[in-house]
Amino acid sequence: MKYIIFFLSLIFFVHLHSIADAQFIHFTPNIANNYIGKSVSVFLDSSNKIGLEGVRQHPELFHMQSDDVPNLGMNNDNFWIKFSIVNESHFNKIILNLEYPNIDKVTLYRLENSLQADSITIKEGSPISQRIYKHQYYIFDLNLPPGDSVTCFLLIRSSKRLLLPLTLNTERSIISSITMSDIFSGMYFGLMLAMLLYNLFIYFSVKDRHYLSYVHYIFWVTITQATLFGYSQRFIWSSNKWLLEHMLILTAAMSGIATIIFTKSFLYVKKNFRYLDWALNVIILGDLTGFVMVICNYKLVAYSTINITAGIGALIVLTVAIIMAYYKKYKPAKYFLIAWTVFLISIIIFVLKDFGLINYNFWTVHSIQIGSAAETMLLSFALAAKINILKKEKEASQEEALRVSKENARIIREQNASLEIKVAERTSELNNALEDLKQAETQLVESEKMVTLGQLTAGIAHEVNNPINFVTSNVSPLKRDIDILFNAIDYIEQIALSDKSKEEKIAEIQQYSEEQDLTYLRTEVEHLIKGIHNGASRTAEIVRGLRLFSRLDEDSLKHASLQEGIDSAMIILSSQVGSIKIVRDYGELPSIECYPGKLNQVFLNILSNAIFAVNKQFDKKPGGEIRIITRLELKTVVIIFEDNGIGMDEDTQNKVFNPFFTTKDVGEGTGLGMSISHTIIKKHNGSIQIESSPGNGAKFTITLPIYQDPSIDQ
């Protein structure tokens, strides 16, 4: 029994030793660049809280992997990778290469003699220029003398799909490996750039929108591949942490959108397949949703959404291509179908490689680059075939157009005689109608001028009548006082020539002065003369305002003051103002180059309408207000007329400049005032805008250039 127990124990320890020995990786130059996934064990820390000491004390948490390149899936938790190495080579340095650039963070812990030797952390967002090896892969030095062993732990965290293509290398083999990868990728990106520029050149030559959508597609496919293999992080946005973390998903979404846009354009999906076009629009919406999720920092959900969308979209695109190629007999669709099939095969190879169903090697890793390059060239052939088809269709169309043109020419020659007669008759009728229209227009303009003249006459008559009445009412008492003064002069002269003594003369003059109240008479004469002077001055002011308003030089450009024109219009309308408060807020304006008489007519029309609207709102009672504002803005002047009248609704504002449109009662307006005003403002290269709402008044803003010649810069 003791022998049996001893034998079983011996077998157990031998087996245990073989297991322990199997966990060591025996490094020799022969295994350089070979993937070591089957020799590592993995532990998923869902709590994200276990540290190095915790995983060292619980080796049972780790599980050996069965694939050369383990696929750890998509998980935002911490992964611990454990492996041990014995250096059986003559090299003093072993290099660990994790050739997968899209990982958020990798930390290497080296344990020698069960003690932590050191730790090195490389983050995706860290500048590549600060790494020991200036490359997008995660490369670590394992300083392990020949014959020594070391246990390593890798702490990995990734928000994207995580693969573990781990290799052990010498310095020479790692340089050879990454150089070959970079050269191959450089050839790929050079080819894609050449195809992009080539198709962009063709677009500018033929102006075919399909080439523009294809260039857009090539750009995003290239950027996606550059990001997938880490070259974008290395050369383009190496210092932008947010782009480093999110751009792979964003470029995948944009690549999907670009693919759908090109497919819809090239295969005329909207024209031929309404429901499939709707389905492709849903795919675009899915990619946009993933795009938004990335921005909102839902990276895992966004990654899954974009992958699912891409899979469904690829099947729909394939379906459309098959239908167009074999059922619609559209020749370019055959090229498209071949190109798309090649690309899908490369994607399938890439995915099968990730899941360990086929070998993970240089060619399967770069399968999408190979497939997308082949697809790009085949699609260029498809576009060329499409151009040839369009060229033939154009030539056939031109031949048909030429035949139709000749037939039309024959018909035209036959009908030419009768048409000439009809044209002559219609021309005569149109000339007569045009003449009638001109006469009607002249009459309407004259009618509007008569309305304006009526307002002018009524205003002037009322304004001039008041000061003239004041003058005439002062003339009679002034004449009476002057007669009294003349009589006093005669009386004083008689006393002065008499023989009476000086004291008697003075006494009689004082008595006469008191009887006639000459002191008050002097005051009264001064008051009457002052009243006549004020009346005459007011009359002169009205005449000056009338002269400013009724300028006769309106057919020639003059430099004039807008504020003087506005004041002259207010003088004309002063009889209508009544209890309305007029507020003038004038800025310092230069004289502008204009037709003064025409602008005065505009001011009169707008102010007249404002007075009408305010009186309608307040029924000629206090409370109404009209504000007149002028401002200088750069090389223009702005005049604002603002009132608190009845206002206008949107429909009225849209019609206010139409001829014959008026809100006044019959006989109160012709409906031409604002139309003529709008024409005058346009003639001055200016603009007029309205802001109004019912019950809240109206605001007219006029903008006019200081100089009518835009080349003048004074």
What pLDDT is attached to residue 249?
Answer: 83
Tell me how far apart the alpha carbons of residues 405 and 401 are, in angstroms, rounded to a whole number: 6
CA 610 to chain centre: 38
Tell me how far apart the alpha carbons of residues 259 and 306 are, in angstroms, rounded to a whole number: 13
What angle is formed at CA 432 by the lines to CA 428 and CA 435, rounded to 5 degrees?
140
**3-state SS class at 657:** coil
In 3D space, the residue among 556, 535, 618 whose CA is nearest the CA of residue 581 turns out to be 618
Helices (H), 47-169: 52-57
What angle is formed at CA 179 by the lines to CA 103 and CA 199, rounded to 5 degrees?
85
Tell me how far apart the alpha carbons of residues 255 and 264 are, in angstroms, rounded to a whole number: 14
Strands 105-112 and 115-123: antiparallel
Q: Which residues contact 85 (CB under 8 A, 6 or more apart)?
A: 24, 25, 27, 94, 142, 144, 149, 150, 152, 168
According to DSSP, the residues that pair with 26 across neighbouring strands are 86
Q: Half-sphere exposure of 284 toward its Cβ, with a 13 Å CA cutoff?
A: 14
Tell me how far apart the alpha carbons of residues 315 and 303 are, in angstroms, rounded to a whole number: 19
Question: Terminal CA-to-CA distance of the chain, rounded, Å?
Answer: 121
User: φ and ψ at 33, to 5 degrees?
Assistant: 70, 5
Maximum distance among all alpha carbons in the chain? 189
Domain ranges of the chain: 21-169, 182-391, 553-705
What pLDDT is attached to residue 453?
Answer: 55
In 3D space, the residue among 643, 640, 622, 618 whose CA is nearest the CA of residue 631 turns out to be 640
Tokens of 191: 């080819």
In 3D space, the residue among 585, 612, 591 whose CA is nearest the CA of residue 548 turns out to be 591
In 3D space, the residue among 475, 425, 208, 169 whose CA is nearest the CA of residue 332 turns out to be 208
Cβ pair 255, 224 in contact under 8 A: yes
228-258 pLDDT tens trace: 888 887 888 777 777 777 788 888 889 889 9
Cβ pair 45, 111 in contact under 8 A: no
Strands 625-633 and 138-143: unpaired
What angle is formed at CA 521 by the lines to CA 516 and CA 524, rounded to 5 degrees?
155
Cβ pair 554, 598 in contact under 8 A: yes
User: φ and ψ at 440, to 5 degrees?
Assistant: -65, -40
Tell me how far apart the alpha carbons of residues 32 and 20 are, in angstroms, rounded to a whole number: 22
Q: Which CATH superfamily is domain 553-705 in?
A: Histidine kinase-like ATPase, C-terminal domain (3.30.565.10)
Q: Half-sphere exposure of 477 toward its Cβ, with a 13 Å CA cutoff?
A: 15
**3-state SS class at 550:** coil
Total residue length of the chain? 714
Tell me how far apart the alpha carbons of residues 183 and 161 are, in angstroms, rounded to a whole number: 26
Tokens of 43: 């532990």
Tell me how far apart the alpha carbons of residues 6 and 8 are, in angstroms, rounded to a whole number: 6
Residues with pLDDT less than 50, the chain: 1-22, 551-553, 666-667, 712-714
Domain 21-169 top-level CATH class: mainly beta
Tell me how far apart the alpha carbons of residues 259 and 213 are, in angstroms, rounded to a whole number: 9
Cβ pair 117, 110 in contact under 8 A: yes
What pLDDT is attached to residue 509?
Answer: 79
In 3D space, the residue among 324, 309, 304 whose CA is nearest the CA of residue 263 turns out to be 324
Tell me how far apart the alpha carbons of residues 389 and 330 are, in angstroms, rounded to a whole number: 10
What pLDDT is attached to residue 429?
Answer: 78
Topology adopted by domain 182-391: Rhopdopsin 7-helix transmembrane proteins (1.20.1070)
Sign of CA dihedral 257, 259, 263, 266: positive
What pLDDT is attached to residue 419?
Answer: 72
According to DSSP, the residues that pair with 641 across neighbouring strands are 628, 700
Helices (H), 34-170: 52-57
Residue with tokens 């290395």: 234
In 3D space, the residue among 714, 660, 663, 705 whose CA is nearest the CA of residue 685 turns out to be 705
What pLDDT is attached to residue 425?
Answer: 78
**3-state SS class at 699:** strand
Cβ pair 609, 674 in contact under 8 A: yes
User: φ and ψ at 27, to 5 degrees?
Assistant: -85, 125
User: φ and ψ at 303, to 5 degrees?
Assistant: -60, -45
